[in-house]
Chains A and B, each alone.
Chain A
């Protein structure tokens, strides 16, 4: 059966670990120490610890801020704005904008992280530019770490939304918009009542996709701030990494991973609703 290799690979490396992790989250498994040898069943202890752990709640709040700020508002909003503004512009303007936006998207995540580390460093370009304008600079990664990683992630991911919306807008029949224009509707009114409703599906799909992508961002934050200072930019993936690999609490790290998986699964179901029905 030609399906078999795919089923095996997905089963062993996807479903297996996920099921495994559900089981593991009921144990006190760890990388070192006595629990590494004799793992025992601890029932809902991890869940109880999880819910009572202020670090988890801190990470949940920061994750929500990061996802809403960089994906929902940032990438999605800026991507839509760019696509709308690019409509009807000349080829020169189009390439001038799409080239750097796409370049930011193509660059590997870790390079994007270096680039933003340099840009926001106290001796970096941003402070130099602000100094040139007579404005005070600061250590952005230290004073506003969440804003720093939000900006970097907007920079990195906006191209995706922009491409989705450029494609969606090119499907909108021009005569509807022109008719509204002839009827005297202003730019904002046409946008609100004609264009946006016509690309509603694309907006839904894009929101789900950028949310899913941003939920799992690890490298960018790990390199730029490592979750710090303290735990000020520690999202769920970073907390999970810290618990599992730095503190060697594999069982607890898995429990956090499950929270992340559960959030992802909810959005993934939204994704299936958004695009699955028509394409299967």
Chain B
């Protein structure tokens, strides 16, 4: 996976040292410390990799245990076992519906909100932005109990659209924030032409600004999707019926029911559930060279 590494140091990362005016005579000590640092880095890398390696190997090991081991007879039996409509297909489809809807709503609403915030000197623009920024910091977990009681009053518990609206709302603060800064980068001059031609603000937003913002909107949409996809707590609390539950919740039920017996299947299920997220991260990081992952890294 091409990890979205942060911007390299000047002169292309690795080559950096060569350009320095360090006399090569003084290098033995320097080289020793270099070796030490590299060794430490390798140890850290191994520590980070081992837990995930278990997931990868157990998924293709029909006799998987909790230990990291290379399968005797690797095979796709575990995947075949969990790839049934009830176990994975319907939950994954549910996740898809929930997350796509939430992402679409977030992007549309956030773009609409970002436009006036970026283009006009609003009397309440700054307070609004401060409020939005403040909201990005609030612990979402804490909002769940009041949201549940609100949902109970409004009869929204166990409804897909209620859950979608809440997921969209939780992504909204950061989305507004990001899209506003994207939009600040689109020159106003482009719209002025449209305005002189008699276009309204909404028309120029739709025909001039939005097309230029498309990459930004797509990225915000993808990040909303990823965040919603990985969210366990929100659907766990707000959805009850088996046929509406997304993969994040059914995988937890699977863990409770079969996890202690079928580790290989749990691993296979986890990989199926993780795959879309990994693919989307790769798409975004390829596309934007990783710079964006910093701004979008604020998880919900």
Contact = CB atoms under 8 A, between A and B. Distances in A.
Interface in A155-185: 155, 158, 160, 163-164, 166-167, 169-170, 174, 178, 181-182
A61 B276 CA distance: 37
B221 to A, nearest CB: 16
Given A10-B135, A108-B273, A100 B52 contact: yes
B138 interface: yes
B146 A21 contact: yes
B92 interface: no
A149 interface: no
Contact of B54 (A98, A118, A215, A254): A118
Interface in B275-300: 277-278, 281, 290-291, 293-294, 297-299
B205 interface: yes
A240 B66 contact: no
Interface in A1-39: 1-3, 5-7, 9-10, 12-14, 16-18, 20-21, 24, 29, 31
Contacts of A5: 108-109, 112-113
Interface in B123-173: 126, 128-150, 152, 165-166, 168-170, 172-173
Interface in A92-106: 92-104, 106
B143 A269 contact: no
Nearest to A11: B169
B266 A114 contact: yes
Interface stretch (B2-10, B73-81, B185-193, B212-220): B2-10
A218 B48 contact: no
Interface string A188-215: 0000000000000000000011001101
A58 interface: no
A103 B52 CA distance: 8
A167 B294 contact: yes
A215 B140 CA distance: 10
Contacts of A123: 65-67
Given A110-B252, A213-B299, A276-B133, A245 B237 contact: yes
Contacts of B137: 208, 212, 264-265, 267-268, 271-272
Interface string A226-262: 0000000000010011001100001001101110110
Contact of B7 (A10, A167, A261): A167
Contact of A82 (B9, B44, B54, B202): B44
B169 A88 contact: no
B83 interface: no
Main secondary structure of the interface of B (DSSP, over half): helix
B51 A98 contact: no
Contact of A96 (B10, B41, B129): B41
A276 B130 CA distance: 8
B41 A106 contact: no
A85 B40 CA distance: 9
Given A3-B113, A17-B150, A21-B145, A108 B230 contact: yes
B218 to A, nearest CB: 18
B98 to A, nearest CB: 14
B202 A2 contact: yes
Contact residue range for chain A? 35 or more
A223 interface: yes
Contacts of A18: 138, 143, 146
Contacts of A142: none
Nearest to A172: B9
A260 B142 contact: yes
Contacts, number: 313
A213 B267 CA distance: 26
Contact of B165 (A9, A260, A279): A9
A240 B130 contact: no
B25 interface: no
A182 B200 CA distance: 61
A90 interface: yes
Interface in B18-76: 20-22, 33, 37-38, 40-42, 44-45, 47-52, 54-55, 58, 65-68
A62 interface: no
A117 to B, nearest CB: 8
B103 interface: no
Nearest to A108: B230
Contacts of B152: 31
Contacts of B1: 99, 102-103
Given A9-B165, A170-B8, 6 more contacts: A100-B45, A125-B54, A170-B9, A174-B10, A208-B137, A237-B142
Interface of B: 1, 3-10, 13-14, 16-17, 20-22, 33, 37-38, 40-42, 44-45, 47-52, 54-55, 58, 65-68, 105, 108-110, 112-113, 115-117, 126, 128-150, 152, 165-166, 168-170, 172-173, 176, 181, 201-202, 205, 229-230, 232-233, 237, 248, 251-252, 255, 259, 263, 266-267, 270, 273-274, 277-278, 281, 290-291, 293-294, 297-299
Closest 3 A/B residue pairs (Cβ): A268-B137, A21-B146, A166-B6
